Structure formats: structure tokens, C-alpha cells
Amino acid sequence: MNVKELRDKLVGMNDNTRVTVYWEDGNEAHYFEIDTVSEDRGTPKRLDNGKAGFEFNRKSGEGTRVVLSVSPA
């Protein structure tokens, strides 16, 4: 998802609605609150298991990502 897609999904929502990150791990659900939002540079890459990854390097990275720091809700 990119920033525009996220903005489009948030249009029309109440400004006071809390945002929670949800992650399901097997039969267990995890909920997180967003602490900070930042933009970091780095290089997109594939991990050994074939999943998409990102190597952070603020000085010379060719790609940019928005990073959400979270803590348990």
C-alpha cells in the first residue's frame, strides 16, 4: 500500500477515531497502537524465504518507506 492508497481509505473517517494495527498469528490476534510515523530510505530486496524485504540505509537507499513504530495496545 502506498501513502495515497492509505489516504483514500481514511477519507471521510472521523478525525477522533483511534487507529489500531491488527496482526493475526495462527489462532492468536495481536493489537498495536501507532507511536510514531517516519520516512526512511533503503533498498528493496528479497529475503531468503522469497518474501519482500527492505534494507534500511538512510544515506544511500534508492527507495523510501513510511515506517510505523508500534507498541502493544
Per-residue pLDDT of the chain in tens (73 residues, 90 and over written 9): 999 999 999 999 999 999 999 999 999 999 999 999 998 888 888 888 988 888 887 677 778 888 899 999 9
16: left (phi over 0), alpha (psi -120 to 50) or beta: alpha
Q: Is the dihedral of CA 29, 32, 8, 47 positive or negative?
A: negative
The answer to the question of residue 11 being in a domain is: no
The answer to the question of residue 29 being in a domain is: no
The answer to the question of residue 54 being in a domain is: yes
The DSSP line for 12-66 is TS-TT---EEEEEETTEEEEEEEEEEEEEEEEEEE-TTS-EEEEE-TTT-SEEEE
Host domain of residue 49: 35-73
The answer to the question of residue 51 being in a domain is: yes
Would you say the pTM of this structure is higher than 0.75? no
Whose cell is 530486496? That residue is 45
pLDDT of residue 22: 94
The answer to the question of residue 12 being in a domain is: no
**How many independent structural domains does the chain possess?**
1
